[in-house]
Chain A
Amino acid sequence: MTFTNAQLERYSRHILLPEVGGIGQKKIAKAKVFLVGAGGLGSPAALYLAAAGVGTLGIIDNDVVDLSNLQRQILHSTQTLNQPKAESARTTVSRVNPDVQVIPYQDKLTSQNIMQLIEGYDYILDGSDNFATRFLVNDAAFFLKKTLISGSIFRFEGQVTVLKPTIGPYPCYRCLYPEPPPPGLVPSCQEAGVLGILAGTIGVLQAAEALKEILGIGNTLGGRLLIYDALEASFRTVRVPKVANCALCGPNPTITELIDYEVSCSLPLH
């Protein structure tokens, strides 16, 4: 792979970094990242990963752009209202960087299609808006030995972590949250409020972790959960250990196939 002069210029501020360089930039250009959701988290993540020159971005979202999305979902705009989000995402990303191959999937992730959809990607970035999808993505990523960069937001709080239980002594999502919360306990996605900017903070942190994983540099959030409190302007990192008897990634798993949980959305803080 050889960069054109325009590409050398486009990525020059990366190439100047000894930790990236031409070799690192080529790794980025070869990387394939699958984004779950083109919403609040997927938007900033897709934009920065595209700007960084990630070779292939798969983007799955089954929704169409709604006016209430535009307070935080910066892939979309007033011009793309009512369009499928996956298509709107492709339009925006291609404008930022035509080098990036965007593969939009206007579909819902299920136990039936997820393995086939994510198989060809190196990294999965979860920006979904419900626990059913989060557990499905975690389990599928584990079965396919893919590194998962998980982000979530609610009201004024955001969380980011890197899940790679098959790569080292790291936990999976179930090590911290063994099962989804009871569906009756949670408000629907539409009822939950969120500070729009929080999506940017957390989505960009996910993109940063994805790039670090691609480049193999620094300390990623494997085994650590970063919690951001926008009201307090505070970041807290909690060590998350691998749970010895985890039902998924432990030595005697009881979860050996994918589960379609009932969709339940975010939780109130109290």
Chain B
Amino acid sequence: MRIEVNGVEQDLSPGTNLTGLLSQLNLTPERVAIELNMEVVDRKQFDSALKEGDKVEIIHFVGGG
């Protein structure tokens, strides 16, 4: 299954969800915001499966100044 993560195409096994994708990328869910096809995803929906052609933007929680 081909999806786009931060503008870069990636091959994922079918059925992968956002939690699985974050885990593959070694990212902690509480430390990021995610947009799926231009919509901000509620943290409670990170378990819904991704599908072919999805566009995912992972945005780090950055708070320093």
In the complex, A126 Cα to B64 Cα: how many Å?
10
Q: Does A89 contact B (CB under 8 A)?
A: no
Q: On chain A, which size bracket covers the interface?
A: 35 or more
Contact with A along B20-47 (1 / 0, CB 8 A): 0000001110110101001110010000
Closest to A184 in B: B30
In the bound complex, residues from chain A placing their C-beta under 8 Å from that of B64 are 40, 129, 152-154, 189, 192, 194, 265-266
Q: How many of chain B's residues have a CB under 8 angstroms from any CB in A? A: 21
Residue pair A131, B63 in contact (C-beta under 8 Å): yes
A241/B61 contact (C-beta < 8 A), A181-B30, A185-B30 known: no
Closest to A238 in B: B57
A41/B31 contact (C-beta < 8 A), A236-B6, A239-B38, A240-B40 known: no
In the complex, A140 Cα to B36 Cα: how many Å?
29
In the bound complex, residues from chain A placing their C-beta under 8 Å from that of B39 are 241
Residue pair B28, A236 in contact (C-beta under 8 Å): no
Q: Does A37 contact B (CB under 8 A)?
A: yes
A266/B59 contact (C-beta < 8 A), A181-B31, A182-B30, A236-B7 known: no
In the bound complex, residues from chain B placing their C-beta under 8 Å from that of A270 are 26-28
In the complex, A15 Cα to B52 Cα: how many Å?
52
Residue pair B65, A152 in contact (C-beta under 8 Å): yes
CB interface residues, A 137-189, toward B, < 8 Å: 151-154, 157-159, 175-178, 181-182, 185-186, 189
Q: Does A208 contact B (CB under 8 A)?
A: no
Top 9 closest pairs, chain A to chain B, by CB? A266-B64, A129-B65, A127-B65, A152-B62, A154-B64, A154-B62, A41-B65, A131-B63, A267-B31
Given known contacts A194-B64, A239-B38, what 20 new A-B pairs fall within 8 Å (CB)?
A: A37-B65, A40-B64, A126-B65, A131-B61, A154-B60, A154-B63, A157-B60, A175-B40, A176-B59, A177-B33, A185-B31, A199-B65, A238-B59, A240-B40, A264-B63, A266-B62, A266-B64, A267-B61, A268-B31, A270-B26
- Taking Cβ atoms with an 8 Å cutoff, the residues of B that contact A are 6-7, 26-28, 30-31, 33, 35, 38-40, 43, 57, 59-65
Q: List 17 A-B contacts (CB under 8 A).
A: A127-B65, A130-B63, A153-B62, A153-B65, A154-B64, A157-B62, A159-B59, A159-B62, A176-B33, A176-B59, A186-B63, A194-B64, A236-B7, A241-B38, A265-B63, A265-B64, A267-B61
